[in-house]
Amino acid sequence: MSADGLIVVDKPGGMTSHDVVARIRRLARTRRVGHGGTLDPMATGVLVIGVGRATRLLTYVIGAGKSYTATIRLGQATVTDDAEGDVIATTPAGRLTDEAVRSALAALTGEIDQVPSAVSAIKINGQRAYKRVREGEDVALPARRVTISRLEVLAIRRAAPDVVDVDVEVTCSTGTYIRAIARDAGLALGVGGHLTALRRTAVGGFHLAEAATLDELERRAPDVVDLPLAVAAQRFFPRRDASAEEAKVLSHGGPLEAVGRTGPYAVFDPAGGLIAIVSERAGRARAEIVLAPA
């Protein structure tokens, strides 16, 4: 069975995130596998997978900022806001100037209220929004506040007379829908828009350059974990070293003295083993999750 830790996977197109988890369960020979942030089947790139006790770190991975490269097609709107859905409207976009395209995208940066795509995994009264849409329901999701800290236009291409393809790089907060950016840019320009390509290049501090393909992991199985638990925690969190006595207290769920750090951090025992992820409040450092072996 594989060790506890994280795997940075380069997800191929055509697979759901759950499909990748199922494959890793087989390769790692354990059921205790999860992922740190869904990628649509069309999308490729960084999908962080947790194995064993490291699945408990995934809540932090899910909340991390993310980066993408994407292609937006202006002139066509689809039911899913991406290339997987049927085209529901076409408006010739050839008249759009590069300046207008750049201006529409610039208006979608910073802190914005974004309405997620109706065909999404968001739950409404316990049922996924995409399932309601497929059953014929008209779904309207509330806007949510997201931060798009970088939206850079790499190229504007006009391979066909009635559409404009825009290659972009995006860095954003968790919860941001890149296909909603395509939709909203198209709406602002009056021509409709959808996403034709999406590749996630980073999640937090985990980057595409270190990602392994499923074929590579298949050849290594069952030794598929790239970042053992302690290494993964040190990559993602600030580090605090505990004394032997502090390690004993914390491993049993007891608090430590605060050291004046904000936000969660990882506490290690004298041998370098990960004990817990800790946050400070009311003058004490208390475990959010204890990861030391029982």
Beta-carbon neighbour count of residue 51 at 10 Å?
A: 28
- Closest CA relative to residue 167, chosen from 176, 111, 178: 178
For residue 196, which of 229, 141, 240, 159 has the smallest C-alpha distance? 159
* Sequence-distant (≥ 6) Cβ neighbours of residue 131 within 8 angstroms: none
Secondary structure of 253-277 in HEC code, one letter for each residue = CCCEECCCCCCCEEEECCCCCEEEE
- Of the candidates 195, 201, 180, the residue with the CA atom closest to the CA atom of residue 82: 195
Distance CA 111, CA 148 (A): 6
The DSSP bridge pattern shows strands 66-74 and 193-203 to be antiparallel
Work out whether the CA dihedral 190, 195, 199, 204 comes out positive or negative: positive
Strands 110-114 and 284-290: unpaired
| Catalytic residue chosen out of the listed positions 4, 10, 40, 184 | 40
Q: Which of 251, 267, 271 is nearest to 259 (CA)?
A: 267
Specify whether 40 is catalytic: yes
Grouping H, G, I as helix, E, B as strand and the rest as coil, residue 30 is coil
Q: Which residues are catalytic?
A: 40
